[in-house]
Amino acid sequence: MSERYFQGYPREKGLAGTRNWLAVIPSVFCANETVARIAQASPFCRPLLHSNGCGQLRPDLDVVERTLIGLGRNPNVGACLVVSLGCEAASGEEICQGIALSGRPVEHLVIQQEGGISRSAEKGRELVKRLAAVLKGQTREPRPVSELLLGVKCGSSDATSGLAANPATGRTVDLLLEDGGTAVFGETTEFIGAEDLLASRAADEKIEKRILEIVKRMEDRIIAMGVDMRGTQPSTGNIAGGISTIEEKSLGAISKSGTKPINGVYEYGERVQGPGLFIVDSPGKEDVILTGLSAAGANVIIFTSGGGAPQGCPLVPVLKVASNREMICAMFEHVDVDVSQVLSGEKTITEFGEAIYGHVVSAASGETVKAELCSYDASSGIYTIGPII
Amino acid sequence: MGGEATVLDKHGQTQVVIASEPIAVNHKLALENLSAGDLVIKYGRAIGQATKPIGVGQWVHIHNLDSLRGRKPKN
């Protein structure tokens, strides 16, 4: 086990916080404006604005509720305020109860009961003041890296991603797992054409079958739309960057998961129980997978790219690892780690795997990542698949 | 036209290929002759199928390479 440490906020169960946020969570999109106004009250607040919670069928509402609970229970959250309108389909009470099981302080505010945004914002500011006082008393202390849950994701991929940024990140994942940590990845669409390689790493037959099932489920959904997947996967930018087919993109993408056995597959919004390496069934769409990784309990996320991806997320530091030197020069303010020297032959994937691990530990200990520095971290999105009604 | 490319593999083996057309940085060139229908191999795996004959040194991309996945079965 590990002797490597980071400076984190101790939490109730296994994973330490790498940030200490007061999450202000709308149970429905109709509460977004009120949440945004309340969140201005304190620098501890992170508003998790989204577009779900009503006008949806129960299977999707279940996903929405468990995802919002997962966000409220993320290790980087010290306290929560859930804001409901009052007439929505998603249950604010259940979301509060689910979060409260973690032992975190949770408050619930219902706009229709308070009587409008002005009164709700006033009450919300009082609640925020009380919750923020709890957070102010909490301090960082040394925590073992086994209390890290590292999410990995790739985006704005080009042909360099699969040769440098992804395999170097895969090396970091291997190192963290060797130190007793946990890692999670998704983007099921980008398993297509490489799923047998992932299935061959499954820890048991049930997991092997499940990996193949989630890929078939995703591919069947695409085919059912009756259109060519090209133009979306690979995207226009992927194709311009030299990726021709989904198989090529997938083979490059899966290397970010390293080489270790895969210990389980989770549905979107579920909390991962580590240690080990896990899959969360999710699309690659940035806001949706970053939210899914956050709900799974990730306290640090690595986002690899050719060099053109600025996106972060509200609760978790998202570290940008990029491999296309030309793009890195153009998008410099959004890149944390430049691994383009793998392609020029000046450094190896193994060397960068260790270097990225160092950046993960620094970010976990409080060092600001570029997405935070640029405030490129406001979006959330939830993976629903049913009709909007 | 006619640029010389030195191709390195994982095992340190090199192969010199003459590019027969302009190829953008990070894009693919063919290391051997392919017929239409042949599998195109990268990362040691099939990444799709050639849709027309491709000669050594030619650019390989969506104009001559087709995915086999995520698409309706061909009639």
Residues A134-158 have pLDDT tens digits of 999 999 999 999 999 999 999 999 9
Could you tell me which residue, A19 or A233, shows the higher pLDDT?
Answer: A19
Mean pLDDT, to the nearest integer, of A90-94?
97
pLDDT tens for B31-52 read 999 999 999 999 999 999 999 9
% of chain A at pLDDT higher than 90? 94
Residue A252 to residue B24, Cβ atoms within 8 A: no
pLDDT tens for A10-23 read 997 789 999 999 99
What pLDDT is recorded for position A39?
Answer: 98
User: Strand runs (DSSP E) across B30-73, as ranges?
Assistant: 39-42, 45-50, 59-60, 65-66
Mean pLDDT, to the nearest integer, of A293-302?
98
Closest C-alpha to A245, from A259, A224, A228: A228
Considering only CB atoms, A244 lies closest to which of B25, B43, B61, namely: B61
Q: Does the beta carbon of A192 lie under 8 angstroms from any beta carbon of chain B?
A: yes
Pair A79, A128: CB distance under 8 Å: no
pLDDT at B75 over 80: no
- Nearest Cα of chain A lies from the Cα of B1 at a distance, in angstroms, of 19
pLDDT at A172 over 80: yes
CB atoms within 10 A of CB A368: 12
pLDDT tens for A314-340 read 999 999 999 999 999 999 999 999 999
CA distance A116 to A118: 6
Pair A144, A123: CB distance under 8 Å: no
Mutate to test the interface with A, among B9, B26, B41, B52 (most CBs of A within 10 A): B26
CA distance A40 to A23: 12
What pLDDT is recorded for position A223?
Answer: 87
Mutate to test the interface with A, among B67, B68, B71, B74 (most CBs of A within 10 A): B67
Confidence at A225, pLDDT banded by 50, 70, 90? confident
% of chain A at pLDDT higher than 70? 99
pLDDT at A245 over 60: yes
What pLDDT is recorded for position A329?
Answer: 95
What pLDDT is recorded for position B1?
Answer: 53
Helix axes A117-136, A32-39, angle to 10 degrees: 50
Residues of B in contact with A156 (CB under 8 A): none
- Shortest CA distance from A306: residue in chain B: B26
Looking up tokens 């083996």 gives B13
Looking up tokens 């779900």 gives A52
Q: Does the beta carbon of A252 lie under 8 angstroms from any beta carbon of chain B?
A: yes
Looking up tokens 């002759």 gives B33
CA distance A211 to A188: 9
What pLDDT is recorded for position A12?
Answer: 77
What pLDDT is recorded for position B74?
Answer: 57
